[in-house]
Amino acid sequence: MTNHYLKISKIAFIGSGVCLLICIITLIIFYPNLGSSQQWDLVLPFALSVIVLFFTGLYHFNNYKKTKGMADEKIQMKENEKERQFVLRKEPSHFLKLTAYNPNGILIYQITPTTPWIVDLLMPNNIRTFLPKKWVIGNNKNEVIGYIKNGAGIYSPLKIEDEHQKVIGLFKEEKFKLTLKGKVYSNSDEVLAEIITDAYLYDVCLQAAAGKELCRYREGWMPVEWTKWFKEANQHTLILNEKVTSREKLICLGLIHYFIYMKEG
C-alpha cells in the first residue's frame, strides 16, 4: 500500500512540475507584452492556478513520502485475521479491477478482468452491460485461485470457479428488483447462501443457508486504526467469518466483486 500511495503522489508531483514549467514558458512568451492589461488578464489567472496545483502536488508528495518509514509499524493481528479483514480498492477499468489489502496495507488478493484493454477503453457502457464477462482471482504470489464468469445478457447466472475452472457456486439474481438480491447454488441446485442488502446498498452480507454469516461488505466504514495505511475516508471493507472455508472465501470474493461492479455500473 505504501508503494501504491508513493506512485500516485509521484505522478501528481511530476504532473504539477510539468504544469509549472508550462506556466514559466507561457510567462516568457508573453513577457514582452506584459505591459498590456489585456495580456495580464490572460496570463495571471492561469499562472496562479498552476502554481497552486504545483504546491498541492508537492504537499501530497511529502505527505505520502512519510509512509516509507512506516513499514515496520504494523497493526497487531492474530494469524487467522491476516486474510480475513480487507480494504477493497477499485483500480482503473470499466470492467472493475479490484484489489484486496489487509489492514497493514499488504496486498492479499486481486480480481482482474480478462477483457482486452482496447475493448475496455472504447466499448460504450450500455453495450458493455450485455457482453459476457470474465475475471481472474489471484493471490499476492500472482497465482490464479479462481474465476468469475458472467454470460451475455442482464440476468445471466454468475459462475464462481476454483483454480481448475470447476464451478463451486452459481449465483442467480432475482429479476426486476431495485437492489441486487439472489441465491448462490451448488451444481446440484442446493442453496449455499443468500445475498442480503440494506436499502441504500452500503451494507451487504452473504448468509449461508444454515444461518451463518459468511462475510460482510460495507462502504464508507473503516476502523480508525486502519487509516494509517488508507488515507481516503470512504473505503470499501470486507470482513470474512473466521470459520469460512477456502471455497466459501472464493464465493464471497466473487459475489462482492460482482455486487460492486453492478452497483458502480
Digit-coded pLDDT (tens) for 45-75: 766 776 776 677 667 666 656 555 554 455 5
The mean pLDDT value for 215-226 works out to 85
- Under a CB-based contact definition with an 8 Å cutoff, are residues 86 and 77 in contact? no
Fill in the amino acid letter for 31: Y
Task: Evaluate if residue 3 carries a pLDDT over 70.
Answer: no
- CATH fourth-level superfamily of 79-264: LURP1-related (2.40.160.200)
| Stretch 21-45: mean pLDDT | 64
Q: Which of 58-62, 82-86, 99-103, 196-200 has the highest mean pLDDT?
A: 99-103
pLDDT attached to residue 72: 46
Which has the higher per-residue pLDDT, 173 or 43? 173
Query: Using CA atoms, how far apart are residues 199 and 107, in angstroms rounded to an integer?
Result: 31
Q: What would the mean pLDDT of 72-94 be, rounded to a whole number?
A: 70
pLDDT band at 86 (very low <50, low <70, confident <90, very high): very high
Cα-to-chain-centroid distance, residue 89: 3
Q: Which amino acid is at 35?
A: G
Length, in residues, of the chain: 265
Interatomic CA distance for residues 37 and 95, integer angstroms: 50
Q: What's the whole-number average pLDDT of the chain?
A: 79
CA atoms within 13 A on the CB side of 210: 3
Q: All 3 cell numbers of residue 97? A: 479491477
Residue 184: which of 174, 175, 193 has the closest Cα?
A: 193
Instruction: Parse the chain into domains and list their residue ranges.
Output: 2-70, 79-264
Q: Above pLDDT 90, what percent of the chain?
A: 31
pLDDT digits (tens, 9 = 90+) for 168-219: 999 998 876 666 788 999 988 899 999 988 766 688 999 998 888 999 999 8
DSSP summary character for residue 234: S
